[in-house]
């Protein structure tokens, strides 16, 4: 299934009236955070496909034209610590980044992220019972520790995500947070055991398939 994955940066080719011509074959949008809500709302309106998302560390309440406060993008589905099935693909998410200051926004310690995984575990167990596998796609904002990490503490990954991949073996872990403009020279995709880790800062068009059920 073709999916448009987005994170961190507004891309002119997407925020365009020609977006349908360029990306009309995608079946869903996956957002890894730190994007204005109006941007995600524009994408789902123009492409007429669902958007599943997690929050980035800079996502906060926004004020729309009517002076209403928005705490989430309208028409999009949050998958934080839960999951959905979309056309055979099991999608779940863990947003936020490693805590590095006291500013508002989703920042977590390793212990807090482990607690988020614990809260998500019942959904994963139900998936295993119903579909024979825990998860196909894990959306995160931050990367796993040691994979696609940035040069500073703010862009270090979570060790907890390594444990998640060891235990639940999603086919894909898709993250943002680490921009190519930061000078990171790592490849944008890296294999970790049974999971392909993908950095989607900016955007990518990916062909995603369900994971095989464990034997």
Domain range list for the chain: 2-207
pTM for the model: 0.92
Residue positions counted in the chain: 215
Q: What is the pLDDT confidence band of residue 99, given thresholds at 50, 70 and 90?
A: very high
pLDDT, mean of residues 137-159: 90
Q: In sequence order, what E strands does the chain have?
A: 2-7, 28-31, 51-53, 62-63, 69-70, 77-78, 83-86, 89-94, 97-98, 107-108, 137-140, 172-175, 189-192, 195-199, 202-207
Q: What is the pLDDT confidence band of residue 186, given thresholds at 50, 70 and 90?
A: confident
* pLDDT reading at 65 higher than 80: no
pLDDT, mean of residues 92-115: 91
Q: What is the CATH number of domain 2-207?
A: 3.60.21.10
* pLDDT reading at 64 higher than 80: no
């Amino acid at each position: 299934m073709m999916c448009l994955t987005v994170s961190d940066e507004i891309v002119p080719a997407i925020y365009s009236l020609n977006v349908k011509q360029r990306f009309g074959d995608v079946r869903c949008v996956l957002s890894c955070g730190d994007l204005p809500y109006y941007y995600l709302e524009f994408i789902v309106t123009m492409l007429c496909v669902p958007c599943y998302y997690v929050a980035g560390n800079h996502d906060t309440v926004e004020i729309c034209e009517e002076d209403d406060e928005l705490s989430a993008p309208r028409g999009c589905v949050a998958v934080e610590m839960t999951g959905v099935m979309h056309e055979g693909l099991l999608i779940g998410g863990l947003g936020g980044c490693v805590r590095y200051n006291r500013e508002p926004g989703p920042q977590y310690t390793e212990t807090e992220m482990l607690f988020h995984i614990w809260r998500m575990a019942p959904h994963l167990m139900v998936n295993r019972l119903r579909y024979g596998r825990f998860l196909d796609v894990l959306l995160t904002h931050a990367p796993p520790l040691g994979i696609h990490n940035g040069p500073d503490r703010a862009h270090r990954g979570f060790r907890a995500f390594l444990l998640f991949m060891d235990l639940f073996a999603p086919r894909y872990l898709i993250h943002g947070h680490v921009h190519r403009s930061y000078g990171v020279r790592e490849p944008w995709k890296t294999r970790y055991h049974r999971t392909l880790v993908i950095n989607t800062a900016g955007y990518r068009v990916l062909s995603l398939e369900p994971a095989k059920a464990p034997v």
